[in-house]
Amino acid sequence: MTTDYRDFYRGRAVMITGGLGFIGSNLARMLVGIGADVLLVDSLIPDYGGNLFNIDGIANRVRVNVADIRQQSTMNYLVRDRDVIFNLAGQVSHIDSLRDPYTDLEINCRSQLTVLEACRNHNPQVKVVFAGTRQVYGRPDSLPVTEQHLVRPTDINGINKAAGEYYHLVYNNVFGIRACSLRLTNVYGPRQLIKHNRQGFVAWFIRLAIEDKTIEIYGDGTQVRDFVYVDDAADAFLRAGASNACNGEVFNVGGDRPISHRDFTTLLVNIAESGRVRYVEWPPEKKAIDIGSFYADSSKFMQATGWRQTMTLEEGLRRTLTFYRHHFDKYVDGSALMEPA
């Protein structure tokens, strides 16, 4: 699978913010395998997903700096001499953003300016790839959703993520800091946070299946989503970072097989051979921010970079279940916050 875009990273200095988190650590593994010089920056804020076990097996081949990207002096130092920055640090819980909007603002807006200002003043040649989200679209007008769809978030997290994305585009267009954003749909796979259920339903459903518990689905389960295995998502970041054709652009990175919650959980329970499903009424606070069915059109990114989804949902779930069954104690502890799903 060695191609030009992977060769681009051999010997290059790369930084990943949120590097001990889910996507960041999987991306780090790919970069280490290619031969990149990898610096991981992570605040290790409890409940955000950073986990030192995520770099088990590669810890002696990366540098780790435990730091908060909101600290300007720290970022000024860390961005120096980096060729590519994968900017994945963020607060991703929609529920947490409604409970504590100011923290969400700090992490998803102000911290993005901190990173970009550090680049503008100390490393203007760097390339930055931002981890965006399909949440910026809100409730879709039509499916599949293209990048031409209005940005119309339904919650505070979506608004702040949209702002963070637009900061990157402005720094590209005004200051010449090469930057782009990948609007990710539902990414799943090994090393995702499963300690609580506030960072998306996929990982939580996987945990419940492993524990042979009941997966509760809101409504009748007909709402549709698309899913991307984490290795495919990491490959998308590699392609975007190596391609100047992506500069100043936003791209959907979604799955090629939309599937209903009903069919997804049936598949998950069958593969896990444990767990069960129950349909329940929507909690009002979650119904208020629900976007209904959603799946993305990723053709723009595919045409720009040649990216394709390679992992089937069945095989991806199988690998994910196997990983957590082997390392469950590294991701779940007695202090886990057990909220209803």
Tokens matching residue 189: 């796979």
How large is the average pLDDT for residues 127-134?
96
Owning domain of residue 176: 8-190+227-254+295-310
Tokens matching residue 111: 């911290």
pLDDT attached to residue 337: 37
DSSP states of 239-273: HHHH-GGGTT-EEEE--SS-EEHHHHHHHHHHHHT
How large is the average pLDDT for residues 9-36?
97
Residue 331 belongs to a domain: no
Contact 235, 30 (CB under 8 A): yes
Cross-strand bridge partners of residue 224: 260
Flag whether pLDDT at 209 surpasses 80. Answer: yes
pLDDT attached to residue 196: 80
DSSP state of 96: H
Whether this prediction's pTM lies above 0.85 is answered by: yes
Q: Which residues of 249-278 are buried (b: 16+ CB within 10 A; e: fewer)?
A: bbbbbbbbebbbbbebbeebbebbeebebe
Residue 69 belongs to a domain: yes
How large is the average pLDDT for residues 88-106?
79
Residue 58, Ramachandran bin (φ over 0: left; ψ between -120 and 50: alpha; else beta): alpha
Rounded distance between C-alpha atoms, residue 223 and residue 257, angstroms:
14
Residue 43 belongs to a domain: yes
Position with higher pLDDT, 11 vs 92: 11
How large is the average pLDDT for residues 180-190?
97
Contact 190, 231 (CB under 8 A): no
Rounded distance between C-alpha atoms, residue 7 and residue 22, angstroms:
24
Residue 103 belongs to a domain: yes
- 99 pLDDT band, cuts 50/70/90, is confident
Q: What angle do CA 105, 110, 116 make, to 5 degrees?
A: 145
pLDDT attached to residue 239: 98
DSSP state of 107: I
How large is the average pLDDT for residues 195-203?
81
- 287 pLDDT band, cuts 50/70/90, is confident
Rounded distance between C-alpha atoms, residue 191 and residue 295, angstroms:
24
CATH number of the domain at 18, please: 3.40.50.720
Residue 316 belongs to a domain: no
Rounded distance between C-alpha atoms, residue 160 and residue 28, angstroms:
26
Residue 280 belongs to a domain: no
Residues 6+ positions from 90 with CB-CB distance below 8 Å = 18, 107, 108, 111, 131, 161, 164
Residue 68 belongs to a domain: yes
Residue 199 belongs to a domain: no
Percent of the chain with pLDDT over 70: 94
> Side chain identity at 149, as an amino acid letter?
H
**Tokens 């503008």 label which residue?**
120
DSSP states of 272-305: HT--EEEEEPPPHHHHTT---S--B--HHHHHHH
Flag whether pLDDT at 297 surpasses 70. Answer: yes
Q: How many domains does one find in the chain?
A: 1
> What are the distances in angstroms from CA 240 to CA 12, 174, 224?
15, 20, 27
